Amino acid sequence: MSAQTPSKRLTTRDISAMRQRGEAIAMLTAYDATMASLVESAGVDMILIGDSLGNVVLGHETTLPVTLDDMIRHASAVKRGSRRALLVCDMPFGSVTDPQIAVQNAVRVMKETGVEAVKIEGGLAVVPMVEMLVAQGIAVMAHIGLMPQSVHQMGGYYMHGKDEASAARLRAEAKALEAAGAFAIVLECVTPALAADITRALTIPTIGIGSGKDCAGQVLVVNDLIGLSVTPPPSFAKPRADVAAIIRAAVGDYVADTKAERQPIPMPRRAE
């Protein structure tokens, strides 16, 4: 069956086959059933239930406050709204601090949400966690480069791989994570030339975000893609719509009509 057959949910084998064919992989985030259904109907191959929900849904400044319960609640909703896309759930900050804890928490995610895979941020330090999860039958997407869960340790948000030492480290991390059994790897804010080099060096798909056009696939925060935000999107995300403006206009019309169509309602008279 083709990886594009709509009657079945995509698997990690389908994603691998897309990479082998040279077919680009389209991935977006979603945090609820409605958005999952919409992006899936438009043809995305994978949906990431990202801990970015901390920023775009829960109103936090970073992803760090997001809990495992938050991820499970939103991933379960996405599962209910999806039929075809492969679903990947972020493991939030503090949930994979050692292999045993990683297994315990990832098993809970898999059991309670029904997603097909989990995603873990980190380089060489998380290789033992990836190996342990894969040994337990859990599909893992890795994530290197800019890692929002490590924003304070890294000292902010910036492009990675600009110098040779950083580039060498990222190359080594990518190869080690592939060897550990990750089925794909996110490259976030990695210099485009380095992202292209890493992509050519791996057999597993690279999924870029802010890392140029030469990765095997692309992921974006859906709110950035459709302009559903009250703050400017990152520089690499070019909104394809202005949904926020549509909402403001629709609500503004509703408020104006509500106030214009109703006469003042007298208060009941008080008993003398």
Identify the band that residue 80 occupies on the pLDDT scale cut at 50, 70 and 90.
very high
The pLDDT of residue 235 is: 85
Binding site listing for 3-methyl-2-oxobutanoate: 51-52, 90, 119
Write the pLDDT tens digit of every residue in 143-167.
999 988 888 888 888 889 899 999 9
Domains along the chain with CATH numbers: 12-261 (3.20.20.60)
Average confidence (pLDDT) over 61-74:
97
Write the pLDDT tens digit of every residue in 228-270.
998 888 888 899 999 999 999 999 999 999 999 888 888 888 7
Which of these, 161, 153, 222, 227, lies nearest to 188 by C-alpha position?
A: 161
Binding site listing for Mg(2+): 51, 90, 121
Mean pLDDT score of the chain: 94
Write the pLDDT tens digit of every residue in 165-180.
999 999 999 999 999 9
Q: Which residues are catalytic?
A: 188
Its pTM stands at 0.92
Q: With contact defined as beta carbons under 8 Å apart, do 213 and 196 qualify?
A: no
Under DSSP, is residue 115 helix (H, G, I), strand (E, B) or coil? Answer: coil
The pLDDT of residue 3 is: 45
Write the pLDDT tens digit of every residue in 15-67.
999 999 999 999 999 999 999 999 999 999 999 999 999 999 999 999 999 99
What is the spatial distance between Cα 160 and Cα 232, in angstroms, rounded to a whole number?
Answer: 22
The whole-angstrom distance between residue 38's C-alpha and the CA centroid of its chain comes to: 16
What is the spatial distance between Cα 250 and Cα 241, in angstroms, rounded to a whole number?
Answer: 15
**DSSP code for 232:** P
